[in-house]
């Protein structure tokens, strides 16, 4: 974090530049984005940056326009706004304990009840980072043990998750399914039973809760290894129905964490599994399956979120009982994107009900939704890796991710005109020799060329701008000045304005689209809302997945589906 006075000076410079560029009040969003994009050290302090920028915007908004240029000159050169060289991602990542190059084996273990979303970013890219660093192998081990009635394994998610990994550029070296390995867990359970470390519990749930809270053993805990072995065999051969018996690990009943007291190892389920049907009735709990698989699959280091500490304890406890030295655990803290209200169960319900537009609906914040919005996986990866392996829980605004993506796409994304909530405006006295105008595809990149667009005398202008400036002289951006009528109804659809001059004067700037050749546009926003508007003629040649920046709106991607020329062009909003 730079000194506050340095950050304030940089924010003030950018606010003045923004005000001069748009000849109006500066906008805080692009300024925050530029600061985060050019200085990786600021990304963990986005809230503080936003507060400084808001103060600078408020101050600059009060400066008379005639004084802005001289104020900018007094701030000196813009060296501080040039992108700083990002620190190598590996610099924020500790060495893996005892790691040997070429010998490291890592595993990711998603539960197949939904697609991968922004919350899985650390799982994906931390594993990928260490695989690349050590020339190791990465296993994808589907945790498809039977779930519950509320959280069920579903067959479609196997392929969807594999597709998500492919989209993210994190391709596993080998794929395993727990459901294929169920018989591998039984001998391990038998070893624990034979050592007197596990028993078959038939306690009613309420009795178990009371005993666990009080540190009191249930009656079956006194089973001898032989008795426990007989009961275990009865579980395997169908002697108990689901919910009647479980295999428990004996732990300290006085453990400070009641949840760690005599945890379940195996349970009975008759749920129909999408891969193996009802071939198995006795299934491992996840932490027991990890204790087995991390040994049998040769995992050398377990990388996981710090919220899984109790699972660490379970694995170590089992390994110690069996005299096994397991791999070390390396943890990361929780990273949240503030605007991403991620809920796999909610997304599941809304996709199934049809309220969400599939798994790529922007409201899911899935990897597919980021891609649909034009946020590249390279940007997402850099965003994730910029926080290193910090154990601190971090919550950042989405603007931090947007800044990374903007840094990658701004220089190559062409601009296009778009008018939301359009009003048709006839300009009386419009010059007859201005039937077309040549506009740059990018204000700072002449190499991206220009396009010729139709001009007046009939235009579409934004209703919100019109009602804010009744009776005023305004400028149609890069074209002409016009005088608006004194009265503009709040729901106007057609009005007449009057041409005043061509001179480029300091007036409120309006985005416009000529009526001739205008293309209807359907804009899908991050909140799932659709907004209809009008885009310029050149959008008629738009291709699926093509990126544009709609001026004064933000970056958008043409939706990846068949474009019907006679219907609105479907685009998805990315970010400012």
Structure tokens at 211: 């005993």
- 214 by Cβ neighbours in 10 Å (0-12 / 13-18 / 19+) ranks as exposed
Confidence of residue 309 (pLDDT cuts 50, 70, 90): confident
Torsion 492-493-494-499 (CA) sign? positive
User: By three-state DSSP, how is residue 49 classified?
Assistant: helix
pLDDT of residue 84: 42
Q: Is residue 338 part of a domain?
A: no
470-504 tens-digit pLDDT: 999 999 999 999 999 999 988 889 999 999 999 99
125-144 tens-digit pLDDT: 999 999 999 999 999 999 99
Helix (H) or strand (E) holding 313: helix 309-321
- Is the domain of 220 the same as that of 108? yes
Distance CA 452, CA 417 (A): 12
pLDDT of residue 65: 64
Confidence of residue 88 (pLDDT cuts 50, 70, 90): very low
Nearest CA to 558 out of 464, 418, 452 is that of 418
- Is the domain of 114 the same as that of 225? yes
Confidence of residue 80 (pLDDT cuts 50, 70, 90): very low
Q: What CATH number has the domain bearing residue 537?
A: 2.40.240.10
Q: What CATH number has the domain bearing residue 206?
A: 3.40.50.620
What average pLDDT score do residues 261-271 get?
93
pLDDT of 254 strictly over 80: yes
Confidence of residue 73 (pLDDT cuts 50, 70, 90): low
Q: Is residue 339 part of a domain?
A: no
Q: Is residue 230 part of a domain?
A: yes
Distance CA 193, CA 434 (A): 89
- Is the domain of 307 the same as that of 434? no
- Is the domain of 403 the same as that of 419? no
pLDDT of 205 strictly over 90: no
pLDDT of 214 strictly over 50: yes
Of 6-10, 71-75, 408-412, the least confident: 71-75
Q: Which of 384, 409, 434 is the last residue of a domain?
A: 409
Number of folded domains that form the chain: 4
Distance CA 285, CA 252 (A): 19
pLDDT of residue 89: 40
Q: What CATH number has the domain bearing residue 389?
A: 1.10.1160.10
- Is the domain of 117 the same as that of 37? no
- Per DSSP, 361 falls in state -
Of 23-37, 238-252, 402-416, 465-479, the least confident: 23-37
pLDDT of 563 strictly over 70: no
Structure tokens at 192: 């624990």
Confidence of residue 87 (pLDDT cuts 50, 70, 90): very low
Confidence of residue 79 (pLDDT cuts 50, 70, 90): very low
pLDDT of 16 strictly over 70: yes
Q: Is residue 118 part of a domain?
A: yes
- Per DSSP, 99 falls in state -
Confidence of residue 66 (pLDDT cuts 50, 70, 90): low
Nearest CA to 246 out of 269, 224, 227 is that of 269
Confidence of residue 90 (pLDDT cuts 50, 70, 90): very low
Confidence of residue 2 (pLDDT cuts 50, 70, 90): low
pLDDT of residue 147: 62
Cα-Cα-Cα-Cα torsion 107, 113, 118, 119, nearest 10 degrees, comes to: -70
Q: Is residue 174 part of a domain?
A: yes
Q: Is residue 133 part of a domain?
A: yes
Q: Mind spelling out the 3-state secondary structure of 473-529?
A: EEEECCCCEEECCCCCCCCCCEEEEEEEECCCCCCCEECCEECCCCEEEEEECCCCC
Residue found under tokens 């005398």? 457
Confidence of residue 566 (pLDDT cuts 50, 70, 90): low
Q: What mean pLDDT, rounded, does the chain reach?
A: 90
pLDDT of 523 strictly over 80: yes
pLDDT of residue 19: 75
What average pLDDT score do residues 148-177 get?
91
pLDDT of residue 15: 82
78 vs 145: which has the higher pLDDT: 145
- Is the domain of 572 the same as that of 450? yes
101-130 tens-digit pLDDT: 999 999 999 999 899 999 999 999 999 999
Confidence of residue 27 (pLDDT cuts 50, 70, 90): confident
pLDDT of residue 149: 60
Q: Which of 362, 390, 409 is the last residue of a domain?
A: 409
Q: Are 498 and 457 within 8 A, CB to CB?
A: no
Confidence of residue 211 (pLDDT cuts 50, 70, 90): confident
- Is the domain of 109 the same as that of 34? no
- Is the domain of 274 the same as that of 180? yes
Confidence of residue 8 (pLDDT cuts 50, 70, 90): confident
- Is the domain of 392 the same as that of 511? no
Distance CA 574, CA 370 (A): 8
Structure tokens at 226: 């032989």
What average pLDDT score do residues 137-155 get?
85
- Is the domain of 294 the same as that of 320? yes
Q: Is residue 163 part of a domain?
A: yes
28 vs 495: which has the higher pLDDT: 495
Of 30-34, 427-431, 499-503, 521-525, the least confident: 30-34
- Is the domain of 419 the same as that of 383? no
pLDDT of 163 strictly over 60: yes
Phi-psi region of 358 (alpha: psi -120 to 50; beta: other; left: phi over 0): left
Confidence of residue 53 (pLDDT cuts 50, 70, 90): confident
Domain that holds residue 26: 4-81
Structure tokens at 341: 């209200």
- Is the domain of 68 the same as that of 96? no
Confidence of residue 69 (pLDDT cuts 50, 70, 90): low
Q: Is residue 354 part of a domain?
A: yes
Q: Which of 22, 52, 81 is the last residue of a domain?
A: 81
pLDDT of residue 7: 85
């Amino acid at each position: 974090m730079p000194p506050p006075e340095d950050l304030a000076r940089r924010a003030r410079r950018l606010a003045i530049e923004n005000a001069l560029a748009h000849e109006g009040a500066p906008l805080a969003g692009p300024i925050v984005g530029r600061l985060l994009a050019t200085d990786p050290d600021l990304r963990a302090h986005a809230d503080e940056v936003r507060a400084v920028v808001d103060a600078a915007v408020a101050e600059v908004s009060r400066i008379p326009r005639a004084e802005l240029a001289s104020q900018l000159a007094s701030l000196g050169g813009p060296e501080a706004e040039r992108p700083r060289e990002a620190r190598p991602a590996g610099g924020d990542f500790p060495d893996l304990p005892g790691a040997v190059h070429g010998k490291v084996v890592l595993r990711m273990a998603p539960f197949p009840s939904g697609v991968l979303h922004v919350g899985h970013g650390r799982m994906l890219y931390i594993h990928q980072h260490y695989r690349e660093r050590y020339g190791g192998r990465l296993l994808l081990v589907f945790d498809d043990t039977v779930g519950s009635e509320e959280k069920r394994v579903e067959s479609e998610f196997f392929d969807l998750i594999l597709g998500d990994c492919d989209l993210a550029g994190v391709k596993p070296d080998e794929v395993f399914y727990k459901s294929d390995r169920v018989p591998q867990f039984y001998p391990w359970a038998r070893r624990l039973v034979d050592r007197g470390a596990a028993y078959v519990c038939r306690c009613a749930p309420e009795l178990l809760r009371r005993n666990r809270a009080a540190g009191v053993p249930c009656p079956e805990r006194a089973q001898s290894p032989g008795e426990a072995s007989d009961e275990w065999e009865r579980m395997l051969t169908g002697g108990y129905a689901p919910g009647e018996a479980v295999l428990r690990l004996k732990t300290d009943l006085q453990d400070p964490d009641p949840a760690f007291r005599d945890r379940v190892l195996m349970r009975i389920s008759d749920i129909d599994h999408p891969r193996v049907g009802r071939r198995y009735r006795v299934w491992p709990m996840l932490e027991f399956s990890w204790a087995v698989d991390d040994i049998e699959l040769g995992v050398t280091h377990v990388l996981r979120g710090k919220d899984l500490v109790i699972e660490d304890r379970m694995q170590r406890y089992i390994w110690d009982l069996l005299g096994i030295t397991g791999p070390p655990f390396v943890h990361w803290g929780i990273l949240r994107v503030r605007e991403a209200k991620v809920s796999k169960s909610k997304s599941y319900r809304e996709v199934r009900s049809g309220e969400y537009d599939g798994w790529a609906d922007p409201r899911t914040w899935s990897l597919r939704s980021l891609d649909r919005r034009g946020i590249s996986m390279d940007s997402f990866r850099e965003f994730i890796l910029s926080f290193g392996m910090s154990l601190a829980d971090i919550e950042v605004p989405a603007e931090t991710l947007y800044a990374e993506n903007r840094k990658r796409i701004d220089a190559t994304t062409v601009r296009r005109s778009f008018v939301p909530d359009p009003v048709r405006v006839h300009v009386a006295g419009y010059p007859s020799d201005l039937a077309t105008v040549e506009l740059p595809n990018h204000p700072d990149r002449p190499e991206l060329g220009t396009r010729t667009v139709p001009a007046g005398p009939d235009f579409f202008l934004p209703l919100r701008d019109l009602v804010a400036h009744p009776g005023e002289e305004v400028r149609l951006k890069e074209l002409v000045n016009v005088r608006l009528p004194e009265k503009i109804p709040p729901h106007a659809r057609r009005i007449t304005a009057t041409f005043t001059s061509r001179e480029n004067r300091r007036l409120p700037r309006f985005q416009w689209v000529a009526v001739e050749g205008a293309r209807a546009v359907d804009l899908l926003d991050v909140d799932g809302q659709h907004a209809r508007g009008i885009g310029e003629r050149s959008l008629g040649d738009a291709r699926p997945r093509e990126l544009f920046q709609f001026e004064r709106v933000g970056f958008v991607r043409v939706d990846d589906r068949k474009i019907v020329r006679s219907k609105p062009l479907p685009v998805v909003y990315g970010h400012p």
